[in-house]
Amino acid sequence: MKIKLFILGLSLGISILSGCNDDLTQVGTGIQPENDRPLVYADTFYMKAKTLQTDSVYARTIYGSLGEIYDPLYGNLKSDFMCQFYCPENFRFRYTPYNGIIDSVEFKIYYSRSWTGDSLTPMRAQLYEVTTPLTRDFYTNIDPEQYCNMQKSLGMQTYTARDLSVSDSLWNDKNSNNVLTYQPRITIRMPQEVGQHFYDATIKTPEVFNDQNTFNQFFPGIYVTNTYGTGNILNIESTQMNIYYKHTVKGSADQDSIVQAWETFSATSEVIQLNRFKNTDISHLLEPNDSIAYLKSPAGVYTQLTIPAQDIAPIIQGRIVSNVDLSLKALPQEDWKFAFEAPANVLILPKDSMDTFFRNNNVENNITSFRGSYVASTRTYSFGNIAKLLKTHIENSPDEDLVINVIPVQRRVGTTTNYYGQTSEYTVAIENYLKPSGVKLRIDKDAMEMRIVTIEYR
């Protein structure tokens, strides 16, 4: 459908042109010669959409996920991770262990209270030794068996997300700023020999602690996975390994006292953490469908939109592309217990940019990439005016349709304050969304309608 509007007056001309791009002038048309007046066109086209499976996503982060959960619509998701540990150059124990003996070793997993699923379902975390140094491949389809000795467990612990061994008063305690003070954690006892191996190496082969590379060869890391239970996934905030030992100190009466100390090795941004997500039972989401497309994170499925640029290009040739408003409409979320939530932010960008966008730590630029926030009241993701994206594509590839991917993302924000004391947010980072989420997007004819407003000067 094509609508041609002839602008007759100054007031109407300014009103319509106020939404156009920066290349346009808002000179009133009422005083222009008849043949210089702009013609404004509104053409309607229809996008196509389909659901595609995500083989993996780029996830360079110190945050991980642990657990397994099944959703009746979005299938099964299992999350785990492998991590190295940061080691200061030329590391040595702060004190000499009493009789040269290490007491114990603990692995601690700290997690947020924003888990997904049942807080009381029994789960089991298990540790395995990484035997091959990790490589900087941050895609989430890694095979732990290529790096680990799956026959050698370094410990296990059954847990529930709401730790029932912690009293309600401690769990809910807040400081003077009304911030919860207790950090939920899973503590796994590791073999004492691991800590003893560390101490003995500082004496016998201290060169393995010269720098991070030599340490990674000495201790490549740990694989943390879930080996029992389903129904919960934790959002991991940090992991660390503590080596406990006793040492002697001189008292005031020249008496020796024995006190406890520990050394801590943490997974930090300086070292590698590899997250793995395994989605199963999702084949039904990929079946051809004329009414629904799906998004599921992490590393599940995404929606691909095709804008008919080949049909658009000849029709708008010679015109200025003023407005191409794009929004996606969603269907209601499921109402069963522990149903997935819709991702708060999604990103659209050309399909050939998906890999480099995240590897290069880009953020939305409203030229080739656009972010939409989910508005629950209208169940809509709005991306604004994507005219620049369409214009650039037609200039470079007029004989090809524009194919863009819709991807759940995590937005990290900063704030700025202007002269009047008003604060606003800006995007600091955009990353693939690593929390369980899912949403059904409408792709029926009404939802796929796209109105393109163009201007022609004659």
Residues 77-86: tens digit of each pLDDT = 999 999 999 9
- Same domain as 69, residue 39: no
The answer, yes or no, to whether residue 5 has pLDDT greater than 60, is: no
**What are the two backbone dihedrals, phi and then psi, of residue 78, each rounded to the nearest 5 degrees?**
-120, 135
Using CA atoms, how far apart are residues 133 and 299, in angstroms rounded to an integer? Answer: 24
Q: Are residues 269 and 206 in the same domain?
A: yes
Q: What is the pTM of this model?
A: 0.86
| pLDDT of amino acid 36 | 65
Helices marked H in 138-221: 168-171, 192-204, 212-218
Q: Are 216 and 133 in contact (CB under 8 A)?
A: yes
**In the chain, what percentage of residues exceed pLDDT 90?**
84
pLDDT for position 418: 86
pLDDT for position 232 = 98
Q: Domain count of the chain? A: 2
Cβ 193 vs Cβ 101: under 8 Å = no
Which amino acid appears at position 35 of this protein?
Answer: N
Instruction: Give the three-class secondary structure for 439.
Output: strand
| 7 domain-assigned | no
In a domain, 8, yes or no: no
Of the candidates 452, 418, 458, 413, which has an alpha carbon nearest to the alpha carbon of residue 20? 452
Question: Residue 384 region, left (φ>0) first, then alpha (ψ -120 to 50), else beta?
Answer: left
pLDDT band at 176 (very low <50, low <70, confident <90, very high): very high
Is residue 196 scored above 80 in pLDDT?
A: yes
Residue-wise pLDDT tens digits, 252-301: 777 788 999 999 999 999 999 999 999 999 999 999 999 999 999 999 99
Same domain for 82 and 46: no
Domain co-membership, 41 together with 89: no
Instruction: Please give the backbone phi and psi of residue 319, each rounded to the nearest 5 degrees, phi first.
Output: -105, 165
Q: Which of 247, 279, 311 is the last residue of a domain?
A: 279
Is the confidence at residue 33, as pLDDT, over 80? no
The verdict on residue 345 lying in a domain is yes
What is the arithmetic mean of pLDDT over 43-50? 97
Flag whether 12 is in a domain.
no
pLDDT tens figures, 397-452:
999 999 999 999 999 999 988 888 888 899 999 999 999 999 999 999 999 999 99
Q: Helix (H, G, I), strand (E, B), or coil: what is residue 61?
A: coil
Please give the pLDDT value at position 132.
94
Residue 410 lies in a domain: yes
87 and 172 part of one domain:
yes
Q: Does residue 180 form part of some domain?
A: yes
CATH code of the domain covering residue 344:
2.60.120
Same domain? For 195 and 312 the reply is no
Residue 292, in any domain of the structure: no
Assess whether 45 and 97 both reside in one domain. no
Contact 234, 60 (CB under 8 A): no
pLDDT per position as a tens digit, 128-173: 999 999 998 899 999 999 999 999 899 999 999 999 999 999 999 9
Question: CB-based contacts of 283: which residues, under 8 Å, 6+ apart?
Answer: none
Question: Which domain does 405 fall in, by range?
Answer: 33-54+300-456
**Could you tell me which residues come within 8 angstroms of residue 355 by beta carbon, excluding any fewer than 6 positions away?**
58
Task: Tell me: do 326 and 272 sit in the same domain.
Answer: no
Residue 458 has pLDDT above 90, yes or no: no
**222 lies in the same domain as 272:** yes
Evaluate whether residue 287 is within a structural domain: no
Contacts (Cβ under 8 Å, ≥6 apart) of 11: none
